[in-house]
Copies of this chain bind each other. A is one copy, B any other.
Amino acid sequence: MINVRIFVTYKESVFDPQGETITEAIHSLGHDEVKQVHVGKFFDVQVDSSNKTVEKTIAEISEQLLVNFNLETYRYEIMEEA
């Protein structure tokens, strides 16, 4: 069993309104030392496969389901192998 964490973020060119709003809210709490916040999602995926085939699985489920490639981009980390 392989545990993979897939990170999905807005592309650099895409405005992140949630991040902007959170930055403003943090400033209103008095934390002006916080300069920028970007928001993202992650998916912790448990895959019953080998290291060789897990990359194909991750690419397929990201492309077909998890990521909106118009606005978002993704990367992943293999967390552990059990």
* Interface positions of A (Cβ within 8 A of B): 1, 7, 9, 19, 22, 25-26, 29, 31, 33-49, 53, 57, 60-61, 64-66
Contact = CB atoms under 8 A, between A and B. Distances in A.
Contacts of A31: 57, 60-61
Number of copies: 2
B38 A44 contact: yes
Contacts of A34: 45-48, 57, 61
A39 B43 contact: yes
Contacts of A46: 34-37
Contacts of A60: 29, 31
A25 B62 CA distance: 12
Given A29-B65, A65-B25, A43 B38 contact: yes
